[in-house]
Amino acid sequence: MYKCLVCETEFDSFMTFGKMPIANGFLTSEDFKNEFFYELEIGACPNCSMVQLVRQPEREMMFHEDYAFFSSTSEKQRVHFKTLSDEILDLINANDPFVVEIGCNDGIMLEHISKKQIRHLGIEPSTNVAEVAADKGVNTISEFFDYELAKKIKDEYGNASVISASNVMCHIPYLDSVVKGVKELIGDSGVFIFEDPYLIDILEKTSYDQIYDEHVFYFSITSLAKMFDKYDLEIFDVKRINVHGGSMRYYVAQKDTKHVSVDVEKMSEVEKYNEVDKLSTYQNLKTKIERSKEELNNIIRKIKTDGKRIVGYGATSKSTTITNFCGIGPDEIDFISDTTPIKQDKYSPGTHIPVKRYEEFKECYPDYALLFAWNHAEEIMAKEEEFTKAGGKWIMYVPNIEVIDDIL
Ligand code: DWN
Ligand code: SAH
Ligand code: ZN
């Protein structure tokens, strides 16, 4: 039995994925012998419906001076966060607004706020990505956000008009401290806007590769509304957004201070219909995950029997779950192509597939590309017409296992 991180109710896990390495722990061959592994296991709380990992590596093992994910590697994400910054700019009407971002990474969003000379602060514990943000003129501190830090920020800067947190709330197990910190910092009238991969999308697409060490929570309105209520906070709006394979953006304020949009109720109904509060939903998910693994392995086995070459496209965190869970290694995949310098010339966590520069893909096309960065399919397809024209095929595994000429 495990204890819910939110309400402390005891529950059993519904699935284990076996031993997993750090999802973003790209490593050199010298590091193989010391590689860290833990058991990746997930459950759903029967009381508050929060879907969560039952254990997570120490935060410093995941977020540090060599963090491998740089937000600005995707053009679509750059546009997405420019749009979010515009929305934030529209929202702030205070005299001297103050915008805080939790997990600002390389400054992909805050750089736009900074350019407008608006008071702001980015909180980013991974120092290498924080430095990139600082170089863009973003006011950054390298700390982990929690209640204590929120109080310090409030003492120094006053209340935040907006706190933004994209793809980071679901990374933090000490949610109680974070939510208390947010409540303290937004004061009476500030707004908290955050977005994370949405549980309904994960269920609909069987996108189980979202399950890895950094993602300790898999949020729904059902689980979040209950949690915020305890703090007298309220979700007053939601927006489904088409990034990271399907995400939800939540707008939160002090309870009874904002008009609650009909979309909150509508989407709660969708969740009820999808039975996010029933254990059978997760048992079904487990069955679908096992089927997906088997089908992907069958396709890969057949391609290799035919003597063809496969290259991975995008050394995503998500790919660590796929390769380790499905047992896909260098015998199946020649290398993974990725545009992020820090990942290149290293090996993938656990399975030790070489990660190479994008140019290596471009210069000698494989027969098949296994699209690990499936959430960026549109952007990738637009620039890979040549590969398709040359007869290259894409292996997709979300939402279904298929081999296609065109991604879209
Ligand atoms: O939640 C998280 C999200 C926001 O980002 C973090 N925990 C970690 C990370 O997850 P991810 O690694 O699965 O993110 P992406 O955005 O799917 O990663 C894409 C990878 O593919 C990057 O390494 C960049 C690379 N890439 C590429 O090589 N060519 C991406 C594009 C668009 C390309 O054209
Ligand atoms: N917001 C960016 C980055 C998401 S990756 C985007 O959406 O693209 C998650 C980021 O959160 C990492 O940069 C990590 O260093 C940071 N992070 C992890 N725990 C944190 C915490 N407790 N407080 C602030 N940032 C944190
Ligand atoms: Zn619970």
Q: Of 195, 232, 239, 235, which Cα lies nearest the Cα of 217?
A: 195
| Strand 10-11 versus strand 355-356 pairing type | unpaired
Q: What CA–CA distances, in Å, run from 60 to 105, 127, 192, 366, 374?
A: 15, 11, 26, 37, 28
Judge if the beta carbon of residue 224 lies within 6 A of ligand 2.
no
Token pair 């806007």 is at which residue?
193
Q: What is the pLDDT of residues 368-391, one digit of tens each?
A: 999 999 999 999 988 999 999 999
Q: What is the pLDDT of residue 13?
A: 98
Q: What CA–CA distances, in Å, run from 54 to 169, 202, 284, 304?
A: 17, 18, 19, 36
Which residue, by CA, sits nearest to atom 4 of ligand 2? Answer: 167
Answer yes or no: is pLDDT of 329 > 90.
Answer: yes
Residues 316-329 have a mean pLDDT of 98
Nearest ligand, CA 224: 3
Judge if the beta carbon of residue 125 lies within 6 A of ligand 2.
yes
Please tell me the distance between residue 295's alpha carbon and the centre of ligand 1 in angstroms. 24
Residues 304-308 have a mean pLDDT of 97
Rounded Cα distance between 239 and 254, Å, is: 19
Judge if the beta carbon of residue 314 lies within 6 A of ligand 1.
yes
Q: Report the DSSP beta bridge partners of residue 295.
A: none
Rounded Cα distance between 57 and 62, Å, is: 7
Q: Which atom of ligand 1 is nearest to the CA of 314?
A: 21
Share of the chain above pLDDT 70, in %: 99
Judge if the beta carbon of residue 81 lies within 6 A of ligand 2.
no
Contact 358, 339 (CB under 8 A): yes
Q: What is the pLDDT of residue 211?
A: 99
Please tell me the distance between residue 334's alpha carbon and the centre of ligand 2 in angstroms. 31
Q: Is the pTM of this model over 0.95?
A: yes
Which residue, by CA, sits nearest to atom 5 of ligand 1? Answer: 69
Please tell me the distance between residue 151's alpha carbon and the centre of ligand 1 in angstroms. 33
Q: What is the pLDDT of residues 17-53, one digit of tens each?
A: 999 999 999 999 999 999 999 999 999 999 999 999 9
Judge if the beta carbon of residue 73 lies within 6 A of ligand 1.
yes
Answer yes or no: is pLDDT of 408 > 60.
Answer: no
Q: Which two tokens stand for residue 136?
A: 């863009």
Please tell me the distance between residue 102's alpha carbon and the centre of ligand 1 in angstroms. 19
Please tell me the distance between residue 25's alpha carbon and the centre of ligand 1 in angstroms. 14
Q: What is the pLDDT of residues 68-106, one digit of tens each?
A: 999 999 999 999 999 999 999 999 987 899 999 999 999
Q: 297 pLDDT band (50/70/90 cuts)?
A: very high
Q: What is the pLDDT of residues 130-188, one digit of tens each?
A: 999 999 999 999 999 999 999 999 999 999 999 999 999 999 999 999 999 999 999 99
Q: What is the pLDDT of residue 194?
A: 99
Contact 192, 165 (CB under 8 A): yes
DSSP string, 106-120: TTTTHHHHHHTT-EE
Residues 333-359 have a mean pLDDT of 98
Judge if the beta carbon of residue 167 lies within 6 A of ligand 2.
yes
Look at residue 87 and give its three-state secondary structure. helix
Judge if the beta carbon of residue 321 lies within 6 A of ligand 1.
no
Q: How many CA atoms lie within 13 A of 264 on its CB side?
A: 15
Nearest ligand, CA 45: 3
Please tell me the distance between residue 336's alpha carbon and the centre of ligand 1 in angstroms. 13
Which residue, by CA, sits nearest to atom 22 of ligand 2? Answer: 144
Burial class (CB in 10 A: 0-12, 13-18, 19+), 361: buried
Q: Which atom of ligand 2 is nearest to the CA of 130?
A: 13
Answer yes or no: is pLDDT of 404 > 80.
Answer: yes
Answer yes or no: is pLDDT of 325 > 70.
Answer: yes
Q: What is the pLDDT of residue 397?
A: 98
Burial class (CB in 10 A: 0-12, 13-18, 19+), 390: exposed
Q: What is the pLDDT of residue 406?
A: 59
Q: Which two tokens stand for residue 311?
A: 């290259």
Rounded Cα distance between 371 and 392, Å, is: 12
Q: Is the peptide bond before 399 cis (omega within 30 degrees of 0)?
A: yes
Phi, psi of 176 (to 5 degrees): -55, -50
Please provide the average confidence, as pLDDT, over all residues in the chain. 97
Judge if the beta carbon of residue 166 lies within 6 A of ligand 1.
no
